[in-house]
Amino acid sequence: MRQARRSGVRGVPRGGTRPLNRSARGCAPPGRRRHAVTGATLLLLAAGAGPAFAASAGDANSPERDAQLVYCLAPVHRTDLLTAAVRLGLLKADAKVTPEQWAKDHDDDFGRACAALMAAESDSPGTAAQAREADGDGWLMTALKQLPLLLLGALLTLGGQSYERGSAQRRSLRLELRTAENAYRDAVREYLDTYGESYARANHSAVRSAREALTAALSRVPGPAARLAAADRIADGLPLAEPLPRNKGIYLLDDETRTRIANEEHASVASCLRSLPELNRAFPYWSWRTRRPGSAQSGTTGGAG
């Protein structure tokens, strides 16, 4: 009876089959279920990323690919490109194909061979030596290009210093001439005025000293030759090298005669000194006068009167 009750609880019902366990139907163990989810996720990620990688690798318009096409298809690199492809096992040694056609038909292999060639060329000792030589040549060419500017700067500096030194000398000489001329004029005026009034009181020593100072200043006038000649003519033509006469024959000169002689000497001195400022004219003027000696002589002679 007890057994029958147990069999009635655990046994199969009389009119049907054994009931199914709904909690276990269609379910996998927890560990296997996690592995299935992870594998599906990776598969989806790979499927989505595949086109991106393919697009990146096959992008024929990228700057890197443009650089490879320009470099490796250049006439000087064609042979090296095919040699690199043979060494990498991407192309047979006896293959009859042009680099352009091979790059078009085997884009990935071309990119690999060209990248290897470019890397080898950039790391080769010859390239480094050429780079060092280019740097040296660049420094040398820069120095050669700057050399004319340096020489021009040095010449301008020397020219400026020479011009300034010459200008200072001309200013000093001009001042000396003006001072000596004024001293000579003053001495001549005082001497001639006194000579017209009284010969006994006329002192010629001041005129002689002023005339010698002016002559010495004229001797330091610089060239060209026309200016030197003009300065010499002025110095030689300065009046009153000697004292004026006291008498004429056995007769003493009267006041009227001495006054007339003094006025004539005033005019002669003024005419001689009138050409003195012409010595301060610019160097090109006197260079032109030197090449035309006739005009130089006529100009100074006419000025001296």
> Max CA-CA distance within the chain?
206
Residue 118 lies in a domain: yes
- 250 is written with which tokens? 């056995």
- What is the span of the domain harbouring residue 68? 61-123
Residue 231 lies in a domain: yes
Residue 8 lies in a domain: no
pLDDT at 50: 41
Number of structural domains found in the chain: 2
Please, what sign has the CA dihedral across residues 296, 228, 230, 168?
A: positive
Residue 40 lies in a domain: no
Q: Answer yes or no: do 76 and 177 share one domain.
A: no
Residue 138 lies in a domain: no
| Bridge partners, 251 (sequence order) | 248
Residue 11 lies in a domain: no
Q: Answer yes or no: do 193 and 92 share one domain.
A: no
Cα–Cα nearest to 260, from 250, 248, 278, 242: 248
Q: Answer yes or no: do 197 and 84 share one domain.
A: no
Cα–Cα nearest to 223, from 302, 158, 285: 285
Residue 268 lies in a domain: yes
- 76 is written with which tokens? 């000087």
Q: What is the 3-state secondary structure (H, E, C) of 261-303?
A: HHHHHHHHHHHHHCCHHHHHCCHHHHHHHHHCHHHHHHHHHHH
Q: What is the full per-residue pLDDT of the chain (305 aa) written as tens digits?
A: 344 344 444 444 444 444 444 444 444 444 444 444 444 444 444 444 444 333 334 455 678 878 888 888 888 888 888 888 888 888 887 778 888 888 888 888 888 888 888 888 776 555 555 556 655 566 777 777 888 888 888 889 988 888 888 788 888 888 999 999 999 999 999 999 999 888 888 899 999 999 999 999 999 998 888 889 999 999 999 999 999 998 888 888 888 999 999 999 999 999 999 989 888 888 788 888 788 765 545 444 443 33
Residue 131 lies in a domain: no
- The domain boundary, picked from 123, 142, 162, lies at 123
Q: Answer yes or no: do 177 and 300 share one domain.
A: yes
In the 8-state DSSP scheme, what is residue 60? T
- Strand blocks (E) in the chain: 247-248, 251-252
Q: Answer yes or no: do 110 and 177 share one domain.
A: no
Q: Answer yes or no: do 177 and 116 share one domain.
A: no
148 Cβ contact list (under 8 Å, min separation 6): none
pLDDT at 268: 94
pLDDT at 28: 44
